[in-house]
A and B are shown apart, each in its own frame.
Chain A
């Protein structure tokens, strides 16, 4: 997978964050999101960003997260610049707030995806009552992102090998060139999805409405503690003066 997406790809490690139940990790990320959305304080946004970053470092994933942070920098600067131009009143504060909010939210979700396997996400959703068809759809989508990236690379290589230049011509022509990349990709992915569907059916997928699961998730006291802390974090902006219910 290319480095900008590394911060959303699980890599197996053995840390405190990894040992938590996916539901408590999700509660933590959601609480950081809510706190970020509900607070209009630059200091709070900085604190939320720092908290999420510290937790990523504690989970020993800083080396994966930093390239993404670097890749996001132009987008953060764009958000800052756009808000500087379009925010009425205190443009500098508004621009800093929005840029930091974007960073805090991205980092919070990066924390969740870096430390939670797609299988655990599916299991957590299933145990929360989401039908297996949907949880499988989610895990498959995540599972096939790197495969799709590989396919794009292979088709591009094949196009170049036939003397085709994707960056040839003006902007419109370049956009048209990408049709040559899309056609084999779409056909191949549709074929692949049909093959997967056949393989799933031949393994009796959908034979029973409530299939059993080899693994069961269970919340431990430490997970309840994390959920409680998350609830407090989410509620705090509502309780302090800096909070306002309206989004800027």
Chain B
């Protein structure tokens, strides 16, 4: 048993084309922690998470999953502990029906039939897809296909869940679905790693943000600390959330003192206070 759920030590990865996507990553994700990996496009986020279940092996350095070096374990074994939902659902639908799609990994891992049946039903209902169980996955909408790929991973109950851009292309209702799911994962004491550009989603759900730029980790801090630091965010070509930007301007005018990510009501209150001379 390792100290951390995931640990990367001096991780370097170079693609066969010669491009070095990861240049000395050091990070540790504790058990039960919710972490977001953020950064500009091409910063190495997806390459990094592909190391967590061993799909990619380090060129140098190492990745430990619960203390186990990923270089020494096949992907089929690591995947049982680390469930990865990739960004594009169309790259990860393999079965003829929605039901079979959720059952697919469980059958690969050798789950008994009654467990498969119970879990498929539970997770299809949870994701609002049960009524489509006899349909082809390819006939679902993009949002539904995305939720189906999440259901397929959650159903086999991995200890660590890695989600690549779970809210990309999702409308408000579907984002709420995924938010509910994050809350559920927290009650299940899962370790969760999310790759995302969605600042609001991060503020609501994660304990810590790991900020990446050009294959390196440039910062690691709680959202309240990191998202209120425009200088650090700019190094990864990110902008603070709108509320933070507004609060920074108000702080410059002496109207508000920036202390973490403000609530809209705090800003309104501070402005009204100044307006009325209170």
Contact = CB atoms under 8 A, between A and B. Distances in A.
B53 interface: yes
A187 B88 CA distance: 13
A188 B75 CA distance: 24
A194 to B, nearest CB: 13
A154 B105 contact: no
Interface string B8-46: 000000001100000000000000000000000000000
A184 B74 CA distance: 23
A191 B53 CA distance: 29
Contact of A191 (B76, B80, B90, B156): B90
A33 B90 CA distance: 42
A1 B17 contact: yes
A163 interface: yes
B76 A154 contact: no
Q: Give the size category of B's interface with A.
A: 20 to 34
Given A161-B86, A162-B152, A2 B16 contact: yes
A155 interface: yes
A164 interface: yes
Contacts of A130: none
Given A183-B94, A184-B92, A184-B93, A161 B16 contact: no
Contacts of B117: none
Given A161-B53, A163-B108, A164-B108, A180 B94 contact: yes
Contact of B50 (A157, A162, A164): A157
Contacts of B152: 162
A162 B149 CA distance: 10
A161 B55 contact: yes
Contacts of A163: 76, 79-80, 105, 108-109, 156
Nearest to B101: A162
Contact of A161 (B79, B90, B93): B79
Contact of A187 (B80, B86, B138): B138
A162 B90 contact: no
B94 A184 contact: yes
Nearest to A155: B91
Interface in A121-171: 151, 154-155, 157-165
A6 B118 CA distance: 49
A162 B55 contact: no
B84 interface: yes
B94 A159 contact: yes
B132 interface: no
B104 interface: yes
Contacts of B83: 161
Nearest to B92: A158
B38 to A, nearest CB: 21
Contacts of B80: 163
Contact of A157 (B55, B74, B104, B156): B55
B91 A158 contact: yes
Interface in B129-183: 138, 152-153, 156
A3 interface: yes
Contacts of B79: 160-163
Given A1-B17, A154-B86, A157-B55, A162 B105 contact: yes
A161 B91 contact: no
A243 B132 CA distance: 69
Given A1-B17, A154-B86, A154-B88, A160 B75 contact: yes
Given A1-B17, A155-B92, A188-B91, A162 B53 contact: no
Given A162-B94, A162-B104, A162-B152, A157 B86 contact: yes
Contacts of A191: 90
Contacts of A188: 90-91
Given A160-B55, A161-B83, 10 more contacts: A158-B91, A160-B53, A160-B75, A161-B86, A163-B76, A163-B80, A165-B74, A183-B93, A184-B92, A187-B138
Closest 3 CB pairs of A and B: A163-B108, A158-B92, A162-B105
27 contacts: A151-B91, A154-B88, A154-B91, A157-B50, A157-B86, A158-B86, A160-B55, A161-B84, A161-B86, A161-B92, A162-B79, A162-B92, A162-B105, A162-B108, A162-B153, A163-B79, A163-B105, A164-B76, A164-B94, A164-B104, A164-B108, A165-B76, A165-B108, A180-B94, A183-B94, A184-B92, A184-B93
